[in-house]
Amino acid sequence: MKISLTLNGEARELEVEPCRSLLDVLRNEAGLPGTKKGCDVGDCGACTVILDGKPVNSCLVLGVEAEGREVTTIEGIQPAPDRLHPLQEKFMQLGGAQCGFCTPGMIVMAKALLDENPSPTEEEIRFGIAGNICRCTGYTKIVEAIQAAAEEMGK
Amino acid sequence: MRRFEYFEPATLGEAIGLLARYQGRAQALAGGTDLLVELKEQLRSADCVVNLKKIPGIGALAFDAREGLRIGALVTAREIELSEVILRLYPSLAQAARELGSIQVRNRATIVGNVCRASPSADTLPPLIADAAQVTVNGKNGERHVPLEDFFTGPGRTVLSPGELVTELRLPAPAPRTGKVYIKHGRRKAMELATVGVAVSLSAADVRIVLGAVAPTPIRARRAEELLRGRKIDASSIERAAQAAVEESRPISNVRASAEYRREMVGVLTRRALTKALEATR
């Protein structure tokens, strides 16, 4: 099946088999491997993307369901090729990434969280990223990075 | 996932026709957060997946003071969690929705899907039953209505026949000053399945106590309710009701908890839920 969607702000047409997840379509068909496959069953959040403004696990969405919709992946978070998003800056500065595998999902989820709530409390951040597992357990620095990015963006 | 045929029916009739044509070999897709996992892990097989999302009229979330609440088949857990009217009038349901999976899951998972999956530990089921929810079922023989408490026949099993779809849940408008509480007990704060879940809806007119994860289906603690119905509700009657609820529970031991522990927690949580519900009626 052919689908048309807006992927990171760009109109794209992709050939998709109905039995493929959006995650596999992004990684294999769309050439965007930044979105990670951790558990592939919706438990880890590494595959988080923003679908029509809402964060979802792309492993639990069929690729064909993206027809006519807007998808933002980690590759679309960066405002320009030579500029990083404040979340990306702060994750680097404050040690928000260790092995880095959860990082794309964490940053996309944090972006969705800050879009909805620009100045979250620590509790709200922890509630927001409850579906993103960091197997290095580096949560403290991840939460600090999200808080710092929120402050930066609020300036 | 194995290959399947994929349909996006534009009407309810078309969807029911497809489910009937493929008999048990078709799976309905709404949120997909259970279905896709089960297809990937080959716990369920599908020759055909019928995506319900293009069917008009089954996505409504609407409240009317006389008719009560209607939750369409496509309404997500996240919509329930954030709905102002649900937070105000059905707060135990909002609480349960908030405790289901992650935000990413709740943006996809539907309440009706949580019902049809029929997990004994599903968070939304105890508050829905405590709120006297009715299930609207559509099939080739038309529409029928089933009280949610009679909908489940076992873990993962319901009264639905192949080819039938749940299109809506209906909840009566709450009596004035109804106290509604859902307490989930788990090993951690988030991304957890309930070890025990207890929902209470308490008003001057009635009391309903529903236990989750301690029997093959969610169950009402009817003897506990009887001990309170039409009587003075205070610390000692609440204690007796909590003990009755313990006796009515039939938990199993599994990886999450032993049966003994679950029984113990039924008592603790029933007492706590009734006490909080009583406070909320004042």
Residue type, B232: K
> What is the separation of C-alpha B97 from the centre of its chain, rounded to a whole number of angstroms?
9
Question: Do B25 and B121 belong together in one domain?
Answer: no
Decide if A56 touches B, using CB distance below 8 A.
yes
Query: Which residues between 62 and 81 in chain A have a beta carbon less than 8 angstroms from any beta carbon of chain B?
Result: 62, 64-65
Same domain (yes/no): B151, B183: no
Helix boundaries (H) for chain B: 12-21, 35-40, 77-82, 84-89, 91-98, 103-106, 111-117, 125-130, 222-228, 235-248, 259-281
Considering chain B, what is the average pLDDT of its residues? 96
Residue range B186-193: average pLDDT?
Answer: 90
Q: Domains in chain A, start-ordered, CATH in brackets? A: 2-76 (3.10.20.30), 86-154 (1.10.150.120)
Q: Tell whether B56 is covered by a domain.
A: no
Q: Which residue has the tokens 């927001």?
A: A128
What is the structure's pLDDT at B87?
A: 98
Contact A117, A101 (CB under 8 A): no
Query: Are B45 and B84 in a shared domain?
Result: no
Print the domain residue range for B160.
61-171
| pLDDT digit string, tens, across residues A61-120 | 999 999 999 999 999 999 998 999 999 999 999 999 999 999 999 999 999 999 999 999
Question: Nearest to residue B51, comparing CAs of A39, A37, A66?
Answer: A66
Q: How confident is the model at residue B23 (pLDDT cuts 50, 70, 90)?
A: confident
Q: Distance between CA B273 and CA B263 in Å, rounded?
A: 15
Helix, strand, coil % in chain B, rounded to nearest 5: 35, 25, 40
H-only helix segments in A48-138: 86-93, 103-116, 122-128
Of B6, B78, B191, the CB nearest to A43: B191
CATH number at residue B12: 3.30.43.10
The reply to whether B275 and B183 lie within a common domain is yes
Interchain contact, B102 vs A61, CB within 8 Å: no
Check pLDDT > 90 for residue B162. Answer: no
Strands B26-29 and B48-51, sheet pairing:
parallel
**pLDDT for B282:** 87
Tell me whether residue A124 is exposed, middle or buried, using C-beta atoms within 10 angstroms of its C-beta: 0 to 12, 13 to 18, 19 or more: middle
| Single pTM value for the model | 0.96
Return the pLDDT at A50: 98
Q: Are residues B109 and B191 in the same domain?
A: no
- As a whole number of angstroms, the distance between CA B61 and CA B115 comes to 16
The C-alpha atoms of residue B112 and residue B133 are separated, in whole angstroms, by 11
Which pLDDT score, from 0 to 100, does residue B152 have?
A: 98
Q: Domain check: are B71 and B151 in the same one?
A: yes
Quote the percentage of chain A above a pLDDT of 70. Answer: 100
Residues B114 and B192 in one domain: no
Q: How confident is the model at residue B169 (pLDDT cuts 50, 70, 90)?
A: very high
Is B144 a residue whose pLDDT tops 90? Answer: yes
Residue A71 has a pLDDT of: 98
Structural domain ending residue among the three candidates B151, B171, B191 = B171
Q: Examine the domain organization and report whether B251 and B274 are in the same domain.
A: yes
Tell me which of B154, B171, B188 is where a domain ends: B171
CATH of the domain at B234: 3.30.390.50
Q: Considering the domain boundaries, does residue B84 fall inside one?
A: yes
Same domain, B19 and B121: no
Structure tokens at A80: 């320009």
The amino acid at residue B36 is L
Nearest by Cα to A112 from B113, B193, B102, B93: B102
- pLDDT band for position B99 (50/70/90)? very high
Interface of B with A (CB under 8 A): 1-6, 29, 32-33, 36-37, 40-41, 49, 51, 53, 78, 101-105, 107-108, 189-191
pLDDT per residue as tens digits for the range B70-90: 999 999 999 999 999 999 999
| Number of domains forming the structure of chain B | 3
Nearest Cα residue to B126 out of B158, B93, B101: B93
